[in-house]
Structure 1
Amino acid sequence: MKAINFISNFSNKNFALITIIIAIIAFNLPDQFSWLNSYISILLGIVMFGMGLTLKPVDFKIALTKPKPVIAGVVLQYTVMPLIAFTIAKLLNLPPELAAGIILVGCVPGGTASNVMVYLAKGNVPLSVAMTSISTMLAPIMTPTLLYLLAGHWMPVNPFQMFWSIIQVIIIPIILGIVIQKYFPVAVEKSVQALPFISVVAVSGVVAAVVSGNTENIASAGILVFITVILHNLSGLFLGYVIATLLRLDADTRRAISFEVGIQNAGLGVSLANTHFPTMPLTALPGAVAVVTHVINGSILATFWSRKPLKQEKLQGKEIIEMKKTV
């Protein structure tokens, strides 16, 4: 058990480094990883299944007891990031595939990595988990609709097919995880420590699959993609914090909203791009780059904030404990 905890903690702390190494290896040895392309949706489903295993009633109770920050975070998630992506695509005059790809990244829900970043940054972790959970549950409706509205003129988007894809890849695995947690709590409690490692392996597999299948595209359009994704990510982190400040939310809540807005479930973007735009491989590229850059930028910001402890941190901890006792 100690070995599993050590490996999981190591994977969490070095997520960015691991994905970078995997991406470099996949770029130089594409034939060794190309077979993973057929398993992208399954790998993402594994991550979502793990999320379902860890969801608890308290994660949703927070949305009822403190609705303002949760609503703010989810609304910003589905407005700021899609609109930033659309604006960047226009300003940089991106090719249709890359434009649709970055908008797809902007339209997916918050990533589970945001919860880890909020924890490291001493932010409001329960709020972050609640926002991620709710934005994920809304994804079948919000992601296809927003992509259709913002990217439909670049390429044909079938929102109904995408709705079903998200149900299969995200909602069903999460529900399955919740059900198994309910009926087999002891087994889940014993295995939950291994989930961070499994998630890192699964996400790394997604990165390796996309990179190995797009080595020529990365070589030709790599700089432009990196600039696009980094600009999009940093804008989301910045605007999420600024708008939360304007809403007069607490400091720990501002940190949580910043990460929730800025860090996307880019793996879902990759899966949807591969499923719905198989003849347009560049569409998946922004998502693959985002998987890595979001973790890197988020880790840097989390480290910076972790050195600035919050005065209300102890009070927040007591509130969380009391809330869990009532569930």
Structure 2
Amino acid sequence: MSLSLLFHPFISFHKAHLKLSSSIPTRPISSPQSKVLSIKSLQRAHEQPPPKKPRWENLLSTAASLYPVYVTAGSVLACAKPSAFSWFVSRGPTAYTLSLAFVMLAMGLTLELRDLFRLLMERPLSILFGCVAQYTIMPAFGATVSKSLGLSPSLSVGLILLACCPGGTASNVVTLIARGDVPLSIVMTACTTLSAVVFTPLLTKVLAGAYVPVDAVKLSVSTLQVVVAPILLGTFMQRTFPSLVKMMTPFAPLLAVLAASLLASSIFSENVVLLKSSILSTSAGSGSGPLFGLQGILSGELGIVILSVLLLHFAGFFVGYLSAAICGFKEPQRRAISIEVGMQNSVLGVVLATSHFTSPLVALPPAMSAVVMNIMGSSFAFIWRYINPSDDKNELGS
């Protein structure tokens, strides 16, 4: 969840505009010589690179972009020693809710709403297409995969809830690596996140209501509290306390990434405890040792969860790219839409699952997704990085 790359482009665009404006001479041009000098000064202003960030800010930004590494390492630790996260798990779901709210607050601190609206006006068709794809492709495949694999009601609800979540912020980093349209990815993430207060509860109610009772109103209120309200609070703080926010901004993305990684790893460790107890009971019953018990679990419930999450995200990547290609978008936009559709805000899925459903298994698909999704997305990105886009321009034809 690299928030540094998510909204810093908006801020850099704004600062570049201010710098260019301040470089234009204000006194009238009274001679041909001064006119030549003025033109040269404008050329130098265009040619000058933006001011370099301090080295420590670059290090923080780089560290914040390593979310897939943190969440994978945390999941490995959760498998090896689940008790390492017991201090955080024991404080859930309150700790989970506060962690996600902090992540969204950090997003709001770096979000320039006026630049967001400007980009919305510049490329409405591609943004609208991406948002519609996000809330149609993934929910449809979430319901299809859960039914096709015959998942239990709790796991089906967890997979559908994951599929109905907005795009994940890690998608912006992955799009950058894949040489896709990063501004499009940024705006899609912001739009789907803000609209999650309506679409995530509504779609979950429609698709998962057949398995267990789903209170769409409570889901909507929770999404508003932990997603939309912190983002709006962050933007309010940015306008009201600009000096304080300027001091906090370099640190906020890394702290948010660490909080998201801790949250995903803790939920995963909570389910690992249940799975290990199943392994021990299976191995004791078969008398064949823990290796065969683990094989039985992998071929059973846990294996089915991993397979369902793999299929869901692969469908998002593939169908997202295919639909963008059919609609005539250029290669950078296809990659951005594919990655944005295929990568979900699994942390939101974890928080909603633990807050509104009694079975801990509902949170297992979103927690597993935090690992599987980032590995898949990073793999696709590195493949795409070495395949030149057919059109290097990041301007839409629409």
- How far residue 311 of structure 1 moved from its aligned partner, in angstroms, is 6.3
Counterpart in the other structure of 2:59: 6
Partner of residue 244 from structure 1, selected from 316, 324, 337: 324
Distance change >3 Å, CA 60–CA 117, structure 1 → 2 = farther
Distance 2:242 2:385 in 1: 33
Counterpart in the other structure of 1:205: 262
Kindly indicate whether the alpha-carbon contact (under 8 Å) linking 1:59 and 1:127 is maintained by their aligned counterparts in 2. no
The answer to whether the aligner puts 1:86 opposite 2:165 as a matched pair is no
Which residue type is aligned with residue 2 of structure 1? R
- How far residue 49 of structure 1 moved from its aligned partner, in angstroms, is 1.0
The answer to whether the aligner puts 1:308 opposite 2:387 as a matched pair is yes
Distance 1:218 1:225 in 2: 12
Counterpart in the other structure of 2:337: 257
User: For 1:162-212, what per-residue CA distance to the aligned partner results, in whole angstroms no more than 9, with x for missing partners?
Assistant: 110001110111001111122233443443233332222111111222122
Counterpart in the other structure of 1:55: 111
- The 5-angstrom pairing of residues 85-234 of structure 1 reads 85-219=142-276, 220=297, 221-234=301-314
Counterpart in the other structure of 1:269: 349
Distance change >3 Å, CA 67–CA 288, structure 1 → 2 = same
Kindly indicate whether the alpha-carbon contact (under 8 Å) linking 2:106 and 2:252 is maintained by their aligned counterparts in 1. yes
Counterpart in the other structure of 2:367: 288
- How far residue 11 of structure 1 moved from its aligned partner, in angstroms, is 4.2
- CA RMSD between the two structures: 1.8
Please give the TM-score of this superposition, normalised by the length of structure 2: 0.75
Kindly indicate whether the alpha-carbon contact (under 8 Å) linking 1:50 and 1:174 is maintained by their aligned counterparts in 2. yes
Kindly indicate whether the alpha-carbon contact (under 8 Å) linking 1:35 and 1:209 is maintained by their aligned counterparts in 2. no
The answer to whether the aligner puts 1:44 opposite 2:100 as a matched pair is yes
Distance 2:64 2:195 in 1: 29
- Structure with higher helix content: 1
Counterpart in the other structure of 1:65: 122
Kindly indicate whether the alpha-carbon contact (under 8 Å) linking 1:40 and 1:205 is maintained by their aligned counterparts in 2. no
Distance change >3 Å, CA 72–CA 285, structure 1 → 2 = same
Which residue type is aligned with residue 232 of structure 1? L
Question: Considering only CA atoms, is the larger Rg found in Structure 1 or Structure 2?
Answer: 2
* Number of aligned residue pairs: 315
Kindly indicate whether the alpha-carbon contact (under 8 Å) linking 1:53 and 1:188 is maintained by their aligned counterparts in 2. yes
Distance change >3 Å, CA 22–CA 7, structure 1 → 2 = same
- How far residue 8 of structure 1 moved from its aligned partner, in angstroms, is 3.5
Counterpart in the other structure of 1:323: none
Please give the TM-score of this superposition, normalised by the length of structure 1: 0.91
Gaps of 5+ in 1: 320-327
Counterpart in the other structure of 1:29: 81
Distance change >3 Å, CA 150–CA 180, structure 1 → 2 = same
Give the 3-state SS of the residue equivalent to 1:153 in structure 2.
Answer: coil
Gaps of 5+ in 2: 1-53, 277-296
Which residue type is aligned with residue 236 of structure 2? V
Distance 1:311 1:282 in 2: 44
- How far residue 312 of structure 1 moved from its aligned partner, in angstroms, is 4.7
Distance 2:208 2:62 in 1: 39
Which residue type is aligned with residue 70 of structure 2? I
User: For 1:254-278, what per-residue CA distance to the aligned partner results, in whole angstroms no more than 9, with x for missing partners?
Assistant: 111101110000100000000001x
RCO higher in structure (CA 8 A, sep ≥6): 1
Deviates more, 1:216-225 or 1:136-145: 216-225
User: For 1:121-147, what per-residue CA distance to the aligned partner results, in whole angstroms no more than 9, with x for missing partners?
Assistant: 111111111111111111111011100
Runs of 4+ in 1 over 6 A off after TM superposition: none
Which residue type is aligned with residue 118 of structure 2? K
Give the 3-state SS of the residue equivalent to 1:79 in structure 2.
Answer: helix
Distance 1:106 1:198 in 2: 26
